[in-house]
Amino acid sequence: MYNMEDDIERILISEKDIKKAVKKMGKAISKDYADKNLMLVAVLKGSVMIMADLMRAITIPVNIDFMSVSSYGGGTKTSGVVKIIKDLDHDLSGKDVLIVEDILDSGLTLSYLTNVLRQRNVSSIRIATLLDKPERRIADITPDYCCFTVPDEFVVGYGLDYDQKYRNLPYVGILKPEVYTK
């Protein structure tokens, strides 16, 4: 039977470390947004894991919504083009929006998104990300909450994909080089 784990060269961040960091992030957010109107906005599909864990680590009332944008094709290189595939269902007026992301890479996606959402009468808009890859940054953007900073390597797992695969791995890892040439 094909096992995805055979494609992993090494685990970069363990399931246990992710749990701990997301829990801590939820605690900080609960404190910072105690008197606010918190709305979590996750960017599909990579952010599904962090969204599910983060919302359970938040102890104050919270609204959630999802949107879908495209910035990547099948490969590992950014196209720089960001398109809204699915917009939010909710009105953002008066909301303290916290965008939940899997990874902040070039930052082009998030920079575009924050600019679009900022124009919808939000009270505030900030970013929470599982991973930050600052070496690759093109846009002038920094996360307000971040669990881990990662080196300039392509990572998969815990929501992050390569060619739509590996999202269901419970940890963040690096693929064996031969996977890319398959």
Report the residue from 26, 46, 107, 157 that binds Mg ion according to the rule CB under 5 A. 46
Number of residues binding to ligand IMP, judged by CB under 6 A: 18
State whether the Cα torsion 64-34-97-139 is positive or negative: negative
Catalytic residue status for 152: no
Residue 72 is a binding residue for ligand IMP (CB under 6 A): yes
Tell me which residue of 131, 113, 130 sits closest to 122, measured CA to CA. 113
Scanning 59-67, 97-105, 118-126, 142-150 for contacts with Mg ion by CB under 5 A, the matching segment is 97-105
78 vs 142, beta carbon nearer ligand IMP: 78
Q: What residue is closest to Mg ion based on CB? A: 46
157 binds Mg ion (CB under 5 A): no
Instruction: Assess contact for 99 and 126: CB atoms under 8 A.
Output: yes
Catalytic residue among 53, 96, 102, 105: 105
d(CA 92, CA 98): 11
Cβ atoms of residues 23 and 56 within 8 Å? no
- Contact by Cβ (8 Å): 60, 34: yes
Residue positions annotated with a catalytic role:
105
Q: Where does this chain bind Mg ion (CB under 5 A)?
A: 46, 102
